[in-house]
Amino acid sequence: MAETKKKKETKTTQKVSPKEISGRITKTAENMVDQINKLQDPEFTTMQRGKSNVVWDEQKGYLELGEKEITRTFLNIAHARKFMQTALIMTKTQDYLNHNKTASIREIYYELKHTIEDTKENTFEGQDESDPIIVDLEHSVDTIREKLNLHANPKGTLYGNITLLDRMHHNDKFNASKLGRGGWSIMSRVEPEEIELTDTDAEYCLVVETEAIFERLIEEGFPKDNNCILIGTGGQAARGTRRLIHRVHNELDLPVYVFTDGDPYGWYIYSVIKQGSMALAAHSEFMSVPDAKYIGMTIEDIKDYKLEAVTEQMKEGDIKRAKEMMAYPWFQSKEWQSELKLALEQKLRIEQQALANKKLDFVATHYLPEKIKNKRFLP
Amino acid sequence: MSKLAEEKAPKTKKSDETGSEIIHGAAEKLEGQFKEHSVAEFFKKNKQMLGMYGKVRTLTMIIHEYVTNSIDACEAVGILPTIDVKIDELGEEYYEVTVTDNGPGISKENVGKAFGKLLAGTKFHRMIQSRGQQGIGASGCTMLSQMTTGKPVKVITGKAQGKAISLEMTIDPRHNEPKITDLKELDKEFHGTAVQAKFKGILYRDSDQGPLEYLKRTAIANPHTQISFRDPMGQKFTFKRTHNEMPELPEEIKPHPKGVTVDDIISMSKVTKGRSVSGFLSNDFDRMGAKGIEEVKKRVKFDMSKDPKQLAWDEAEEIIKAFKDIAFIAPTTDALRPITEEQIKNSLQSIVKPDFLTVMTRKPTVYKGGFPFQVEIAIAYGGGAGRKIAEETHMEIMRFANRVPLLFDQGTCALTKAVQTIDWKRYDIKDIENTPVTVFVNFISVHIPYTGAGKQAIADEDEVLEEIRLALMQTGRKAGVYISHKKREAENQLKRLMFYKYIPEIARALNVITKADENKLKVNLEKMVMQKLKLEEAKDQEELKKAQDTLASDGNSVIVDKSDKKNLKRGSKGDNVSEKKKE
């Protein structure tokens, strides 16, 4: 075994205990009670989200949430229902924290859903009503979902020579290259106090969009031959997967290379991993990897690898998306502007799996090694 | 019915031969052959021309014929009409209709004419406000029954004196003669007429165009009439009489020179008592004085002293041309008999039962220079007003011509167009199509300008449209004051409920987290909601008071919903809140 890399301390989100978070929820509720008993309209304050309150910090290299706050009050016809829902989410998350339980955001939705007395109305009509309230609470008590003992559906896989320790499950210690071809399913909560990254001798972390390419690379022995770890996102990267990529990069000092389809959807997957998303701008600090590099697919690859016969036409949605992306402040680098421009000119997209057109193992034997060796990346 | 039947009977030999006005045009083509075709045969072949098409429509038209005859017969002798209608389903698209009235009854001699002889209308229209014959008459129904079932129509009729008679009737279509069978004298006393007839190929529907709606509307426009109805499912309905006096009978007026055609002049000239054309004109026309005759004389080339019976078509054309040039005084309008605001108000309250109602009878005026007419409008809102489709209530337009409901051809009717061209938003009525409102329009005239032979839609004469629009705007303004207030009130109620329903959930949640007294939280939250809404309500109450003052000074509007106002007051008392929750 080669020398193991020295582990760095990762910047953990907050050193806060469940008890402290629970206390913040109590404080919020007590404020409301005080207001009500003084016959004042009770308030709930959280951060405004969405494009209007997202700031691109060029220095830090990721998206951040701005300073704008919103206050929700009960006596506002447009807020009343959400106010009620917020109170319910507060109660339930505190209950999880106090009893050391974790739940999926779908589970909390089902736990809280019931018909309101004397009405035909449900407390929540769908998960799309409870999910945003959860984010409201995260921001209001200044924490992340994971600290509220909530998690989304896990998605994403890890494979390669890296050893992990699961503190929440018998202190299991395992190497992600010894779990069969499937690798390790990345959990939605991968906080350092639960999952420890003990050591690795890998030289970099390769993130791939599609499961098919993930499996192809394992079948071809790519991680072993190239001494890297492999993370499959299966489309847009989930919170847990992004957190893990962030930790791998920061704690183990591994460069991160991202390999997606050559289309606006794939490029945005890269962008989210690198500089965060608008929806979770508040958490970019703990999730983004501003140093990440983009391998491909690029429109130039089409010419370079003679893939003209296996391109696809961009659809109307792709064109619209590409135009939007061109305008984002975090897509203003020369390289990305010219890539997007080229794509829009030719109206072409190219999938990762199109490389199979050369040969099934072409991606593992030629494409990736050449790109990485020659450092042919987009920033 | 006897008097009516006699009036309808052809008066001249000529019209007896040529038959109804519908046949008139066809007659020229048929010429010699025509004599072999009787009115009844013609009917048999062309019933759709007489409005008898569509299974639902045909049944409604049958009910219309019988009911109109009954009301007319009662009115002719000054009896307040009480009419009973039953429809029984005998088989698939096979029904029996029974209509009984308390009218004067028909003598043995006249019953044949009333139910067994298709009658020809007089050639030129009579200038009188009448329910008119929109279809085929009671005899047409006999014919239709016989054609579709082969069965006779049963009639029982009794006059004030003497025994009632019962008989069965068919029509000999070749000779257009009634055939009476099974004539019996009954032992019991009966005052009125009952007719029972079977029909096939028709369909009962409880729809906008079905018999129930027709009878309901007939009752609304004839408040002196009581109508009871039993539908084929056995459901019973009664539309009570709300006015206990006979309406004044309309008067017949002479035609105004601006309201006649060449053909009218020719027909009138054959029966005039005038010995010269000048005499004919001054005798038989409204507003035709010596000066008018002088003016006509100046404009025609022939000698006006000639015998009017010798008047040629060209000469009649000259007269019409002259009439057009000459300025006559507008026709007399005092021959019209509106239902009146008071009576419309009462009957709509009794039958539609709205929360709010405003009524207007406009002064009579004239269209096309020659025809007096008058418009009556009512707008009813809330309660039973509007047309219910599934769970939702939409606007409903009730159209009437001389008190007769018009159920068909709504889209092409001037009355509908007038309603649709009003900018209701100006009166704070947003989206009137989806508002629970009934718009009542009664068009009264000595001559109704129907758009076609179906006689279910009124032509959009400029003056007619304008008059209806004016009336709608005046009533609409009043209704708008009420409706917009009502809507805000309902919104306030909804708001309160909206806040209230979340209070227990919030109080419980905050209690779980903070251990604060759940009940105290509930009471305080409810107090806050009431405080907030009271502020909004106070503003609203002020507006309501203003609105009520406006409406109170106007005798033609009624606000019916007293119960609602109690709720409103009660709701504004914060202390009653928890009590109310317990209920």
Residue A12, pLDDT score:
54
- Angstroms from B49 CA to nearest CA on chain A: 54
What ipTM was reported for this prediction?
A: 0.80
- Facing A84 at nearest CB: one of B505, B524, B532: B505
Could you say which DSSP state residue A364 is in?
A: I
Residue A10: pLDDT over 60: no
| Sequence-ordered alpha helix ranges (H) in B254-387 | 262-271, 277-284, 290-299, 313-325, 341-351
What is the domain partition of chain A in residue ranges? 18-151, 157-373
Higher pLDDT residue, B571 or B43?
B43
Residue B217: pLDDT over 90: yes
Side chain identity, residue B273: K
Token code pair at residue B462 = 């400029």
**A212-226, B119-133, B483-497: which is most confident:** A212-226
Residue B102, pLDDT score:
94
Question: Are B528 and A37 a contacting pair at CB < 8 A?
Answer: no
3-state SS, residue B58: helix
3-state SS, residue A185: strand
In chain A, residues 14-53 whose CB comes closer than 8 Å to chain B: 25-26, 29-30, 32-33, 36-37, 39, 41
3-state SS, residue B170: strand
As a whole number, mean pLDDT of residues A309-320 equals 93
| Sequence-ordered alpha helix ranges (H) in B444-461 | none
Separation between Cα atoms, residue B316 and residue B322, nearest integer Å: 10
Residue B271, pLDDT score:
86
**A150-154, B339-343, B482-486: which is most confident:** B339-343
- Chain A residue closest in CA terms to B497: A119
As a whole number, mean pLDDT of residues B417-436 equals 88
Q: Quick one: pLDDT band at residue A90, thresholds 50, 70, 90?
A: very high
- Chain A residue closest in CA terms to B522: A36
Separation between Cα atoms, residue A170 and residue B131, nearest integer Å: 96
Residue A234, pLDDT score:
92
Pick the range with the lowest mean pLDDT from A11-25, A246-260, B168-182, B513-527.
Answer: A11-25
Query: Which of A109, A110, A294, A305 is flagged as catalytic?
Result: A110
Separation between Cα atoms, residue B382 and residue B436, nearest integer Å: 6
CB of A46 within 8 A of CB of B531?
Answer: no
Q: Which residues of A touch B583 (CB under 8 A)?
A: none
Q: Which residues of A touch B501 (CB under 8 A)?
A: 116-119, 121
In chain B, residues 223-282 whose CB comes closer than 8 Å to chain A: none
Q: For the segment B198-213, what is each residue's pLDDT rounded down to a tens digit?
A: 999 999 998 889 999 9
Residue B560, pLDDT score:
63
- Facing B510 at nearest CB: one of A32, A39, A75: A32
Residue A7, pLDDT score:
52
In chain B, residues 521-540 whose CB comes closer than 8 Å to chain A: 521, 524-525, 527-529, 531-532
Residue B139, pLDDT score:
86
Q: Quick one: pLDDT band at residue B30, thresholds 50, 70, 90?
A: very low
Pick the range with the lowest mean pLDDT from A29-43, A349-363, B418-432, B486-500.
Answer: B486-500
Q: Which residues of A touch B509 (CB under 8 A)?
A: 29, 87-88, 90-91
**A190-199, B24-33, B571-580: which is most confident:** A190-199
- Residue-averaged pLDDT of chain B: 83
3-state SS, residue B531: helix
A110 is catalytic: yes
Q: Which residues of B touch A117 (CB under 8 A)?
A: 501, 504
CATH architecture of A18-151: Orthogonal Bundle (1.10)
In chain B, residues 495-524 whose CB comes closer than 8 Å to chain A: 495, 498-499, 501-502, 504-506, 509-510, 512-514, 516, 520-521, 524
Q: Which residues of B423-454 are buried (b: 16+ CB within 10 A; e: fewer)?
A: ebeebbbeebeebbbbbbbbbbbbbbbbeeeb
Residue B10, pLDDT score:
40
Residue B539: pLDDT over 60: yes
Separation between Cα atoms, residue B467 and residue A243, nearest integer Å: 76
Q: Quick one: pLDDT band at residue B189, thresholds 50, 70, 90?
A: confident
Q: For the segment B248-301, what is each residue's pLDDT rounded down to a tens digit?
A: 888 888 889 988 888 889 988 988 888 999 999 999 998 898 999 999 999 999
Pick the range with the lowest mean pLDDT from A232-236, A279-283, A325-329, A347-351.
Answer: A279-283
- Sign of torsion, CA B384 B388 B393 B397? negative
- Facing B514 at nearest CB: one of A33, A95, A121: A33
Q: A157-373 sits in which CATH class?
A: alpha beta
Side chain identity, residue A36: I
Q: What Å distances lie between residue A2 and A5, A199, A249, B29, B33, CA to CA?
A: 9, 11, 19, 115, 120
Residue A319: pLDDT over 80: yes
DSSP string, B333-370: -TT-----HHHHHHHHHHHT--SEEEEEEPPPEEETTT
Which among A118, A50, A42 has a CA at the least distance from the CA of A79?
Answer: A42
- Angstroms from B488 CA to nearest CA on chain A: 15
B251 — phi, psi (to 5°)? -100, 150
CB of B93 within 8 A of CB of B201?
Answer: yes
Q: For the segment B53-109, what is each residue's pLDDT rounded down to a tens digit?
A: 789 999 999 999 999 999 999 998 999 999 999 999 999 999 999 999 999 998 888
Q: Quick one: pLDDT band at residue A247, thresholds 50, 70, 90?
A: very high
Domains of chain B, earliest start first? 2-239 (3.30.565.10), 257-325 (1.10.8.50), 337-583 (3.30.230.10)
As a whole number, mean pLDDT of residues B327-346 equals 89
pTM of the model: 0.59
In chain A, residues 93-122 whose CB comes closer than 8 Å to chain B: 94-95, 116-119, 121
B534 — phi, psi (to 5°)? -65, -40
Residue B198, pLDDT score:
97
Residue B568, pLDDT score:
34
